[in-house]
Structure 1
């Protein structure tokens, strides 16, 4: 169960907080990654082949993830009690995947992006996503070192890969087409079991997102990171634009994640 203040109340007749659960254990389920990435990679066969599973397995896993009986949530710590969450919004009348900032304290959740259905976004830049994954790797290292009496200081590339790929569907950024970004995504795919010729899949993920095209990101006066695509909540000039204070909060939290 996860309290998603200001978000849960949007869904009439559904106790969202009671339906949500920590879903990180599901990332090892056969067919998970093809199912999770299916909205942004418009090639089911390509996804299934990359992880060596048949399409029936992918569909079965998708049905599990998208069942209205529960809403899987993948959350990572952003520091100070704030979190970034990917929510499988399994609302019968309007299913999709939402990406939220869950602020500390009593503040309402902030919607960054929606993938699937009436998509909204993008919600994160490549630099922010890469920083988030790096921070997750460092956190995993610290946790294992503590459990091992500071003896285990090896990096945690699998945790880094999981975070990168879970939140990648809301990313679209012109800079993600760089060789460095492609290399990091390829490494994450391989860490999660993908194999074979991954060039086409990497291309989909870094620059051909089926929901969002490559877009520029920049800085507003004061240093707030903003998206220059007006369909993004992080674009000050867009119809779905966040309030200036929320734009700044999101920018600060995601910048600190790097």
Structure 2
């Protein structure tokens, strides 16, 4: 299943963290998803140990999802004492610095992905990342997603991913719950800007032009294109 990178980036431009450790093998392990997603089950000692390993070690676990046009989406476990969390970053080789897409911790920022963009990133099949498996990619990026207009088949799609990668009971019911509540930010409305790219109205989103910390217009358009282009 795994299509491993040969090396992890020594650094992500503009991102103060690391050293990084690429760990695609974790995507095949059930306890990882117990930590990564709110699966509604009690963590046992194994899961507690994994969480300590992910967020309490000397290296920062890193996963990569390639996007169109040579962009990359990085999922970084920020193993910083007192400020641990998961950062979602987008980068292109021509950029001086990566852009923060979402941040999953006590100070959540996002959402960074609409449902359509989440599915496009999961399904693009581009090599060179942590995995090309659509189920793993979907679950890996799910915490960065928020959308108040998910399609009718979204529960079926998420249920299939949960069945493939987790051992949760009643996966269809859990999928419906995850899509209803959508993490810390809750559902967010996406619209098309005048330039033809997606933006949202999330109060903590980098992709809401009304926020003072939002990306510049050109970057909003570029990232939206990378996320939706096969």
Q: Same fold (TM over 0.5)?
A: yes
Whether the aligned pair in 2 keeps the contact of 1:158 and 1:188 (CA below 8 Å) is no
Would the alpha carbon gap of residues 90 and 224 (structure 1) be closer, same or farther in structure 2, given more than 3 Å must change?
same
Whether the aligned pair in 2 keeps the contact of 1:122 and 1:170 (CA below 8 Å) is yes
> Aligned residues, how many?
220
From 123, 126, 133, give the equivalent of 1:159. Answer: 133
From 118, 130, 137, give the equivalent of 2:119. Answer: 130
Deviation at 1:111, TM superposition (A): 0.4
SS of residue paired to 1:221? coil
From 53, 59, 63, give the equivalent of 1:70. Answer: 59
Deviation at 1:202, TM superposition (A): 0.8
Corresponding residue number in structure 2 for 1:108: 97
Deviation at 1:195, TM superposition (A): 4.7
Q: Deviations over 1:28-57 (max 9, x none)?
A: 23411010114xx5x343xxxxxxxx6222
Q: Which moved more, 1:188-197 or 1:234-243?
A: 188-197
Structure 1 position 173 matched with structure 2 position 147: yes
Deviation at 1:207, TM superposition (A): 2.1
Structure 1 position 233 matched with structure 2 position 206: yes
Deviation at 1:119, TM superposition (A): 0.5
Deviation at 1:164, TM superposition (A): 0.4
Whether the aligned pair in 1 keeps the contact of 2:68 and 2:227 (CA below 8 Å) is no
Deviation at 1:212, TM superposition (A): 1.4
Output the CA distance in 2 between the equivalents of 1:109 and 1:68: 23
SS of residue paired to 1:100? strand
Whether the aligned pair in 2 keeps the contact of 1:80 and 1:104 (CA below 8 Å) is no
Corresponding residue number in structure 1 for 2:21: 21
Specify every segment of 5 or more residues in structure 2 that has no aligned partner in the other structure, as ranges.
1-7
Corresponding residue number in structure 2 for 1:255: 228
Output the CA distance in 1 between the equivalents of 2:76 and 2:65: 12
Corresponding residue number in structure 1 for 2:69: 80
From 204, 217, 226, give the equivalent of 2:190. Answer: 217
Output the CA distance in 2 between the equivalents of 1:123 and 1:133: 14
Q: Deviations over 1:65-93 (max 9, x none)?
A: 11231111111111333201111111113
Output the CA distance in 1 between the equivalents of 2:48 and 2:140: 18
Q: Deviations over 1:200-221 (max 9, x none)?
A: 3212321212311111111100
Deviation at 1:199, TM superposition (A): 3.3
After superposing on structure 2, the runs of 4+ consecutive aligned residues of structure 1 that deviate more than 6 Å are none
SS of residue paired to 1:92? coil
- Say what the alpha-carbon RMSD is for the aligned residues: 2.1
- Which of structures 1 and 2 has the bigger CA Rg? 1
Whether the aligned pair in 1 keeps the contact of 2:61 and 2:77 (CA below 8 Å) is yes
SS of residue paired to 2:67? strand
Give the structure with the larger helix fraction: 1
